[in-house]
């Protein structure tokens, strides 16, 4: 099973996805400017950089979701998150959260238009193998949960 999707347990992935912007906004408020510069451990992303990563990933998921439905048996294009993270030290966490939240609202609205039968459509991730559109949505939600937990841990270290 996909490690991100496995994090969902019995939770509804679309509900998790819809609630993530609220959770991130609350966590950013708890962290404040100083907390945004803390990380889980030396060499790990700071809270602000996690928000940058989530903003980037939201664009990636937006494209993957749409391509998965637009093409027969779509093959997902992976990306190197460490290469994408190179500019994160110079980027603003608040701007990243705003970008994430805006794109997420659009993705949630778009997902609401997807007919139920489309969730069984197959696609392939070169690193994770064949999956359904539903598993892609579950991956998105599990990815959210993973990073929300990281931010919660950083916030609790204050």
pLDDT for 60 equals 96
The domains located in the chain, with CATH, are 3-156 (1.20.120.450)
Consecutive H or E run containing 57: helix 47-70
For the entire predicted model, the pTM comes to: 0.94
The angle at the Cα of 23, spanning 100 to 53, to the nearest 5 degrees, equals 35
pLDDT for 158 equals 66
pLDDT for 75 equals 96
Nearest to 133 by CA among 156, 114, 106, 108: 114
The angle at the Cα of 21, spanning 145 to 53, to the nearest 5 degrees, equals 65
pLDDT by 10s per residue, the chain, length 158: 577 778 888 899 999 999 999 999 999 999 999 999 999 999 999 999 999 999 999 999 999 999 999 999 999 999 999 999 999 999 999 999 999 999 999 999 999 999 999 999 999 999 888 999 999 999 999 999 999 999 999 999 86
Which two structure tokens, joined as six digits, stand for 11? Answer: 């939770």
pLDDT for 1 equals 59
pLDDT for 11 equals 92
* DSSP tag of 39: B
Which residue is associated with the tokens 């950013």?
28
């Amino acid at each position: 099973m996909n490690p991100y999707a496995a994090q969902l347990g019995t939770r509804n992935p679309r509900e998790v996805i819809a609630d993530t912007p609220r959770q991130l906004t609350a966590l950013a408020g708890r962290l404040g400017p100083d907390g945004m510069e803390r990380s889980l451990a030396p060499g790990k992303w700071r809270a602000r950089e996690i928000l940058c990563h989530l903003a980037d990933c939201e664009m990636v998921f937006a494209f993957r979701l749409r391509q998965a439905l637009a093409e027969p048996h779509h093959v997902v294009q992976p990306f190197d998150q460490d290469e994408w993270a190179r500019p994160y030290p110079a980027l603003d966490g608040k701007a990243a959260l705003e970008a994430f939240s805006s794109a997420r609202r659009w993705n949630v609205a778009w997902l609401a238009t997807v007919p139920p039968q489309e969730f069984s459509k197959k696609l392939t991730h070169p690193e994770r193998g064949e999956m359904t559109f539903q598993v892609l949505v579950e991956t998105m939600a599990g990815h959210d949960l993973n990073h929300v937990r990281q931010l919660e841990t950083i916030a609790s270290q204050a």
